[in-house]
Amino acid sequence: MDHNYPMQPPLDPRKILSELYVKNLELYRERSRIHEIIQQVAEVVFAVDQDYKITLFNKTAEAVFNFSQEKAAGMSADRVVKLSRDEVFFSVKEYAFKKEATLNEINKKSITAIDRLGRKFYYRLNFAHTLMETGEKECVITLTNITNEVEEDKRKDEFIFVTGHELKTPVTIIKNNLWMFRYLFAGKETLTPRQKELLNNTSEELIHLNKLTTDLLDLSRIAQNRLVLNVRDCNIDQVLKDIGDSFSQMANKQGLKFSVSKGQFGMVKADKERIYEVFENLLSNAFKYTEKGYIKIGIARQKSHLKILIVDSGAGIERKDYPKIFTKFGRGSEGLKVHENGASTGLGLYVTKNLVEQMGGKIGFTSEKGKGTEFWFTLKRT
Partner 1 sequence: MGPKYKILLVEDKESLRTVYAEYLRMEGFVVDEAKDGQEALDKAMAQKYDLVLLDVMLPKVDGLEVLKSLKSNPQTKDTKVYMLTVLGRDTVIKEGFDIGADGYLIKDKITPPMIKEEILQALSPKAS
- Which residues in 184-241 belong to E strands, given as ranges? 231-235
Residues near partner 1 (CB under 8 A), total: 28
Q: With binding defined as CB under 8 A, does residue 176 bind partner 1? A: yes
Question: Do 277 and 356 contact (CB within 8 A), yes or no?
Answer: no
Least distance from partner 1 to the Cβ atom of residue 52, Å: 41
> In terms of Cα–Cα distance, which of 275, 187, 204, 189 is closest to 237?
275
Question: CB neighbours of 15 closer than 8 A, spacing ≥ 6?
Answer: none
Considering only residues 221, 288, 305, 353, which one is a binding residue for partner 1 as defined by CB under 8 A?
221
Q: With binding defined as CB under 8 A, does residue 100 bind partner 1? A: no
Distances (CA, A) of 40 to 57, 59, 81, 90: 11, 6, 19, 25
Reduced to 3 states (helix: H, G, I; strand: E, B; else coil), residue 283 is helix
Reduced to 3 states (helix: H, G, I; strand: E, B; else coil), residue 98 is coil
Under DSSP, the state recorded for 321 is G
Considering only residues 29, 71, 165, 301, which one is a binding residue for partner 1 as defined by CB under 8 A?
165
Least distance from partner 1 to the Cβ atom of residue 187, Å: 14
**Which one, 215 or 312, has the nearer CB to partner 1?**
215
Q: With binding defined as CB under 8 A, does residue 185 bind partner 1? A: no
Least distance from partner 1 to the Cβ atom of residue 315, Å: 30
Under DSSP, the state recorded for 376 is E
Least distance from partner 1 to the Cβ atom of residue 309, Å: 25
The piece of 52-60, 91-99, 178-186, 319-327 that touches partner 1 (CB under 8 A) is 178-186
The piece of 31-39, 116-124, 164-172, 299-307 that touches partner 1 (CB under 8 A) is 164-172
Considering only residues 21, 28, 159, 179, which one is a binding residue for partner 1 as defined by CB under 8 A?
179
Distances (CA, A) of 48 to 25, 56, 231, 378, 380: 27, 7, 46, 45, 46
By CB under 8 A, the residues from 223 to 242 that bind partner 1 are 226-230
Q: With binding defined as CB under 8 A, does residue 183 bind partner 1? A: yes
**Which one, 8 or 190, has the nearer CB to partner 1?**
190
Q: With binding defined as CB under 8 A, does residue 269 bind partner 1? A: no
Under DSSP, the state recorded for 50 is T
Question: Do 47 and 55 contact (CB within 8 A), yes or no?
Answer: yes
**Helix 193-223 vs helix 348-358: crossing angle, to nearest 10:** 60
Residues that bind partner 1 (CB under 8 A): 161, 164-165, 168-169, 171-173, 175-177, 179-180, 183, 210, 213-214, 217-218, 220-221, 226-230, 273, 276
